Amino acid sequence: MGAIDKACHAYGYRRTARNATMFGPPGHAYIYLIYGIYSCLNFVTNPEGEPDAVLLSGLVPVYGTDAMAQLRYGKPYEDLTACQRKNCLNGPGKCCKALSLDRSLDGMDLTGDELFICTSPADVGLWEEAEPPRRIRAAKRVGIDYAEEARDFLWRFIQEDTPC
């Protein structure tokens, strides 16, 4: 829905060097900088030519928690304070920092071996069984007050049992 979303970099089919990946084929990473500092990971979702992407705005750490904690705070997960644990992955820039993602990965195929999405942790041999699906609720997005009516779109999806 990027073409009609006033919060989208490609609103009105505006194509730039920054957002060109969104106009490409689905299943690719669109990674851009906000405030010139923080990387944000998006998944391109619609057919080539239709600028649509979904922002990854938060994660719940399950596997690789020590590596993520090192990248975010410079110490192992067990040494994080309760506040650091709660806030480790609760924002798009925080997720990218904890996963060591930056603009150099923009356009990467998400079905490859380096950066990918799996439907179950068992798919990649992380553990035997995945947790059961959780209830998801829709909410308004945050940080886009400038986007007029688009700020009210219920396009933020949150697991009901997360604190975000």
Domain residue spans of the chain: 2-110
Give the model confidence (pLDDT) of 90-123 as tens digits.
999 999 999 999 999 999 999 888 887 766 666 6
pLDDT at residue 134 greater than cutoff 50:
yes
Dist. CA 89–CA 77, nearest whole Å: 12
**pTM for this structure?**
0.82
Residue 107 CB neighbours (<10 A)? 15
Pairing status of strand 156-159 against strand 136-139: antiparallel
pLDDT tens by residue, 56-86? 988 887 778 999 999 999 999 999 999 999 9
Which CATH fold topology does 2-110 show? 3-methyladenine DNA Glycosylase; Chain A (3.10.300)
